[in-house]
């Protein structure tokens, strides 16, 4: 990965591609690459859908190698949802394929002058950019099937659905899995809208003729990878719980902890949680001839994804993730697995962030557009978004806009982005992350659930404010670094608990690049990324007052613990003091 591919969609005479050396971006990958390019090259005050914004697509430092778990892709831009810097992260095949093709980043620049819609094909012959208006408003599954017919089964695709074409702030960027299903999404922050604003419908990747990237020291690399995989296999979360039940194993756990936000964050438990739990989904998937264990990209050894078949045994969707099950389930008062799987499929097909869309629908239910628990209404509302009706455009703009339009007082957003599936009153650490992350409310930015609830890497009482700032700070630093490697964030469970697994990760990086990284080096990388992101946001107009949760979390107590968010503002302002 020694090159950056820049594609100027607004070039005179039509879009043009150029390949350039890494230059000042040498040694960067994933979130480190996306945030560096955005912070240095994008004017912070530009309009997110204008020609000055850029969309950066970057595999991680270990993508395209033989390292296990190294297939995460970062997509970065100025967010049309938050107005700040954004990195959205996805699994799927594209990161591995891009790495083998030798590209450390694709940078989409400018805006096309006309109304044409483009596809970009990248393979051994180079880069081809073609206008193809026959693709207009195709949902992702139909789009990928057409690409498969044209370019064969060896491809991977990065695409947008109708939501991205309509530049909705909840629009995602889809990535295909090993079965060429567009079921993995860089969902958060409206990155799909920026891709739509660049006039790009799909990027087709084909690494036929290319081999895996080779390390500086092959023997040390193989040994490190073996130890790394063994560490993941022996940890109870990555070796047992996630493969057996997927991320939705958390539903019963978080509900029992009283941190499961039900009915638009009215309470911390949902009576129907067991009916949509990971255990229930896994049993149903197995009964219908599918299963809860599936890899979202080649090289994944945790295999926390799965396949959900409908009642007739036909593929409907990937196994819905925990966040999706909550956003379309407990948050909206829905406890039917088939409904939630259908909503997951529709989100993927139209190209929507399941969290933002589900929360927006729950807010709309709070505003009287439909009743909580009305499964049919929820499906109809997602179709409204996919069709781009006036109501659909309100919902597709995200939860904050929906709350304003429907006159809802309590809207769970930070920096304009919807909160995920953990109530910050019952998990105080994740509240710190929601409030202070440069990305807006984002559980993955500093996953305090690991320590607050699952007791990985120690234990900090989730119901008390003590220690939460330090916990969130350390996890935000570590997460930024992991996002730069291309590694799946779920490796953190084993890395936090098993020093030898953390050392194996360092050894993977060191043997591949010929480096001598230490734990301090990893922390420095994470701090550098966060500093760049916060600097961009500051120049975009963000202040410490934006690093706050909505007021109702501090004034309204949450059952069953009857607790409010208790971390003080002056403590939140200390998160990035290091």
Q: Is it the case that residue 293 has pLDDT exceeding 90?
A: no
Fold of 3-206: Aldehyde Ferredoxin Oxidoreductase;  A, domain 1 (3.60.9)
In the predicted structure, residue 292 carries a pLDDT above the cut 80? no
What are the tokens at 520? Answer: 């301090």
Per-residue model confidence as pLDDT tens digits over 401-419: 999 999 999 999 999 999 9
**What is the residue-averaged pLDDT of the chain?**
96
pLDDT at 274: 97
Give the three-state DSSP class for 550: coil
Q: What is the pLDDT at residue 38?
A: 98
Task: Give, in order, the Cα–Cα distances in Å from 45 to each of 40, 85, 125, 322, 542.
Answer: 13, 11, 38, 35, 11
Which of 283, 279, 299 lies closest to 291, judged by CA? 283
pTM: 0.97
Reported as a single tens digit per residue, the pLDDT across 276-291 is 999 999 999 999 998 7
pLDDT per position as a tens digit, 89-146 = 999 999 999 999 999 999 999 999 889 999 999 999 999 999 999 999 999 999 999 9
| pLDDT single digits (tens) 431-490 | 999 999 999 999 999 999 999 999 999 999 999 999 999 999 999 999 999 999 999 999
For residue 51, the number of C-alpha atoms closer than 13 Å in the C-beta half-sphere is: 10
Q: Where residue 195 falls among pLDDT bands split at 50, 70, 90?
A: very high
**What pLDDT is recorded for position 162?**
98
Same fold, 3-206 and 252-422: no
- The residue extents of the domains of the chain are 3-206, 252-422
Residue the block writes with tokens 């057409």: 146
If we measure between CA atoms, which residue out of 413, 379, 378 comes closest to residue 398?
Answer: 413
Which of the four pLDDT bands, split at 50, 70 and 90, describes residue 298?
A: confident
Q: Is the pLDDT of residue 299 over 90?
A: no
Q: What angle do CA 61, 63, 69 make, to 5 degrees?
A: 105
pLDDT band at 513 (very low <50, low <70, confident <90, very high): very high
> 252-422 adopts what CATH topology?
1.10.569
Q: What is the pLDDT of residue 1?
A: 78
User: Model confidence over 211-263: pLDDT tens digits?
Assistant: 999 999 999 999 999 999 999 999 999 999 999 999 999 999 999 999 999 99
Q: What percentage of the chain has pLDDT greater than the value 90?
A: 97
Cβ count near 536 (within 10 Å): 21
Contact partners, residue 83, CB within 8 Å, separation at least 6: 48, 415, 416, 540, 541, 542
Q: What is the 3-state secondary structure (H, E, C) of 415-455?
A: CCEECCCCCCCCCHHHHHHHHHCCCCCCHHHCCCHHHHCCC
Give the integer Cα–Cα distance in Å for 223 and 214: 14
């Amino acid at each position: 990965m020694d090159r950056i591919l820049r594609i100027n969609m607004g070039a005179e005479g039509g879009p043009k591609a150029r390949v350039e050396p890494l230059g000042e971006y040498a040694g960067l990958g994933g979130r480190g690459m996306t945030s560096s390019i955005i912070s240095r090259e994008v004017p912070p005050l530009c309009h997110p859908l204008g020609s000055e914004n850029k969309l950066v697509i970057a595999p991680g430092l270990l993508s395209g190698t033989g390292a296990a778990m190294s297939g995460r892709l970062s997509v970065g831009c100025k967010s049309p949802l938050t107005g700040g810097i954004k990195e959205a992260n996805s699994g799927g095949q594209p990161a591995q394929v891009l790495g083998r093709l030798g590209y450390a980043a694709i940078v989409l620049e400018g805006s096309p002058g006309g109304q044409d819609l483009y596809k970009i094909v990248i393979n051994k012959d180079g880069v081809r950019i073609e206008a193809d208006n026959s693709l207009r408003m195709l949902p992702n599954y139909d789009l990928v099937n057409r690409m498969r017919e044209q370019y064969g089964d060896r491809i991977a695709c990065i695409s947008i659905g109708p939501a991205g074409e309509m530049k909705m702030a909840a629009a995602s960027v889809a990535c295909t899995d090993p079965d060429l299903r567009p079921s993995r999404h860089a969902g958060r922050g409206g990155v799909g809208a920026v891709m739509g604003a660049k006039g790009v419908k799909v990027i087709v990747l084909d690494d036929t003729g290319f081999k895996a990237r080779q390390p500086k020291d092959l023997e040390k690399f193989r040994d490190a990878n073996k130890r790394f995989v063994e560490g993941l296999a022996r940890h109870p979360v990555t070796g047992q719980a996630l493969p057996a039940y997927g991320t939705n194993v958390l539903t019963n756990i978080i509900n029992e902890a009283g941190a499961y936000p039900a009915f638009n964050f009215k309470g911390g438990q949902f009576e129907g949680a067991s009916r949509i739990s990971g255990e229930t989904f896994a049993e149903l998937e197995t009964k219908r001839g599918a299963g809860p264990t599936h890899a979202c990209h080649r090289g994944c050894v945790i295999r926390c994804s799965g396949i959900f078949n409908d009642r007739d045994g036909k593929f409907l969707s990937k196994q819905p993730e925990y966040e999706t099950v909550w956003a379309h389930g407990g948050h909206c008062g829905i406890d039917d697995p088939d409904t939630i799987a259908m909503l997951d499929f529709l989100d993927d097909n139209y190209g929507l962030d399941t969290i933002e869309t589900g929360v927006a629908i729950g807010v709309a239910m709070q505003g009287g557009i439909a009743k909580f628990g009305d499964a049919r209404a929820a499906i109809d509302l997602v179709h409204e978004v996919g069709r781009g009706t006036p109501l659909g455009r309100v919902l597709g703009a995200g939860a904050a806009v929906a709350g304003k339009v429907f006159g809802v007082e309590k809207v769970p957003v930070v920096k304009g982005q919807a909160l995920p599936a953990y109530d910050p009153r019952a998990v105080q650490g994740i509240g710190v992350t929601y409030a202070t992350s440069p990305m807006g409310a984002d559980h993955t930015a500093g996953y305090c659930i690991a320590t607050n609830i699952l007791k990985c890497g120690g234990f900090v009482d989730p119901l008390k404010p003590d220690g939460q700032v330090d916990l969130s700070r350390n996890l935000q630093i570590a997460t930024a670094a992991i996002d730069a490697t291309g590694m799946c964030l779920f490796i953190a469970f084993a890395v936090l608990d098993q020093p030898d697994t953390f050392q194996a990760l360092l050894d993977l990086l060191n043997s591949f690049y010929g480096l001598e990284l230490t734990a301090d080096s990893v922390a420095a990388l994470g701090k550098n990324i966060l500093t760049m992101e916060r600097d961009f946001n500051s120049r975009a107009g963000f202040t410490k007052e934006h690093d706050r949760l909505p007021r109702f979390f501090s004034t309204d107590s949450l059952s069953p613990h009857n607790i409010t968010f208790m971390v003080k503002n002056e403590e939140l302002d200390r998160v990035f003091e290091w």
